[in-house]
Amino acid sequence: MDIGKSVYSPNGTKSYLEPIQGCVNDCFFMAALISVAWAKNAILNIHPNYRFFNGASWDPLFTINKDLAVDNTDNLVYARTSSQYIWPCLYEKAYAKWMDKPANRDEPPIGEVLKGGNGLYALQNICGGTRYTNPATIPILSYAGNRTQYPTIVQMNGHNYSVLRKSADGWELKNPCGGGLIYVDKIDNTLFSEWGYVK
């Protein structure tokens, strides 16, 4: 069903606050999407055209429609959004279509295709570049409020979080489930099974 909401804000930006994980185990992708919207917003493609990086090169552009799954009360089933802009929902659908190999269905079964994964690979799929896994340091932009310079994620107890900045309260992490922000003192293997960024 096409829910008829706007895809992007009038100026084309995509807020990192908008993506919210739905009923699918794809925190790895939603955390990656939040991190890209935070640190590399301009790379997010404009609907209906999408493309993803396969680790060696960019796959060809493909299109999707705006039909999204809703329940019997017209609430979105999969990815949600904190605003009237549905770009996170469409990105999730596009990623599911891209991952739905070899079938490549126009209406991919999102719950089957995106049932767990690696946030660093999802980051690379969205924005290309090189993955830096469990680095000794995470680059920050000290002149811009200690923001992370590149899209960055961490994984703790099988759940992925977006890394936004380093503040007086510690490293600021965004929960893709819509749970808000959490703060941690450090990013290393005492708390996280994996962390890193894509440059």
Query: For the chain, how many structural domains are there in total?
Result: 2
Boundary (domain end) residue, out of 65, 85, 119: 119
pLDDT at residue 2 tops 60: no
Boundary (domain end) residue, out of 119, 145, 168: 119
Residue 2 belongs to some domain of the structure: no
Q: Are residues 43 and 115 in the same domain?
A: yes
User: Residues 97-151: pLDDT tens digits?
Assistant: 999 988 888 899 999 999 999 999 999 999 999 999 999 999 998 777 899 999 9
Residue 138 belongs to some domain of the structure: yes
Boundary (domain end) residue, out of 84, 119, 154: 119
Burial classification of residue 23, based on how many CB atoms lie within 10 Å of its CB (0-12 exposed, 13-18 middle, 19 or more buried): middle
E runs forming strands in 23-148: 49-50, 62-63, 80-81, 131-133, 140-141, 147-148
Residue-level pLDDT at 6: 78
User: Which range marks the domain in which residue 27 is found?
Assistant: 19-119
166 pairs with which residues across the strands?
Answer: 171
Residues 6+ apart with CB under 8 A from 39: 147, 148, 149, 150, 151, 152
Q: Are residues 115 and 164 in the same domain?
A: no
Residue 124 belongs to some domain of the structure: no
Q: Are residues 100 and 157 in the same domain?
A: no
